[in-house]
Amino acid sequence: MQKRILGKSNLEVSALGLGCMGLSFGYGPATDRKSAIRLLHAAVETGINFFDTAEAYGPFVNEELLGEALEPYRDKVVIATKFGFKEGKPSLGTDSRPENIRLVAEASLKRLRTETIDLFYQHRVDPNIPIEDVAGTVGDLIREGKVKHFGLSEAGVQTIRAAHATHPVAALQSEYSLWWREPEKEILPVLEELGIGFVPFSPLGKGFLTGAIDKNTVFEATDFRNTVPRFSEKNRVANQSLVNQINSIANVMDATPAQIALAWLLAQKSWIVPIPGTTKLHRLKENNSSAEIKLDENDLKSIDEALAKIDVKGNRYSDQAQKMVNR
């Protein structure tokens, strides 16, 4: 797989990363450990070297899984993890006090079985802690050799600028896809100006853009999509036209809807690295193949024109979760 560099950070990663949350948390029951390790090994063997986790995924168990699975490949992979919630639990609110950042870093290093965290994101901006203090603390960890790069997740423009002025931000992680293009308005221009890489999570719309979800889909009780307005039955019906359009485009190009959605993201900027997640080997291979699809200007124009008239219905987060983004 081709490599990309996240902004001006010199952090080189595979053009597609792997979002690992769903292996342990968020989308129903966790994948059994042996199957999860098999998938992580397959990802490495097929060229992926960029893996995304967080203390909050479980909490803790996802980091432990990656620590075990990736230990044999540690010198070949880039592992990103995150801090910023009380006790690693989003339900308890944010906690980016410098002392907590340090505690999380030490605990994550042990769970990941490594001496250095390649990319350490603030999972959500903490309104009670100046971002300068957060950036300064991560900067200290970088100087101590415990972290290599600093990142932010779902941060707003002012926060990005203030953080970057204190310590260089290597990457911003936020949602971006064919059904959530809000970052194009303000976020992408600022990232380009400052030389910050962009790591879109949910690049397949939490599964919706694959075409595998419709009005009849029933999610497991522990699947967080049950709380997402965009996934109500009514909104799934309303948003089906988007998937239908993507599927039509995919058919013409002899590809799948997921591959078109990922190829479209890769074509936006050379410093964008999507991190689709999956628990299935065949989906991993399907997603990886999207990196070989080259969309030219006419292709991108056709996609934009086809989707421009579609108004996607429903918020992408619950009201409570929405309060934590774009701070």
Active site residues: 57
Q: How far is CA 265 from CA 12, 47, 175, 306, in A?
A: 18, 19, 11, 16
Whether cis (ω within 30° of 0) applies to the bond prior to 98 is no
**Residue pair 139/168 in contact by the 8 Å Cβ criterion:** no
Which tokens go with 286? 């399907």
d(CA 191, CA 188): 5
d(CA 268, CA 189): 12
DSSP-assigned states of every residue in 287-310: HHHGGG----HHHHHHHHHHHTT-
**Residue pair 190/158 in contact by the 8 Å Cβ criterion:** no
d(CA 196, CA 182): 17
Beta strands per DSSP E along 78-131? 78-83, 117-122
Helix axes 61-70, 33-45, angle to 10 degrees: 50
The CA-CA-CA angle for residues 316, 321, 326, to 5°, reads 80
Beta strands per DSSP E along the chain? 3-5, 12-14, 18-19, 50-52, 78-83, 117-122, 147-153, 169-175, 197-201
| Residue matched to tokens 């879109």 | 200
Which tokens go with 38? 């098999």
Q: Which of 204, 294, 199, 217 is nearest to 255 (CA)?
A: 294
- Sequence-distant (6+) residues with CB within 8 A of 77 are 44, 49, 50, 51, 70
**Residue pair 299/260 in contact by the 8 Å Cβ criterion:** no
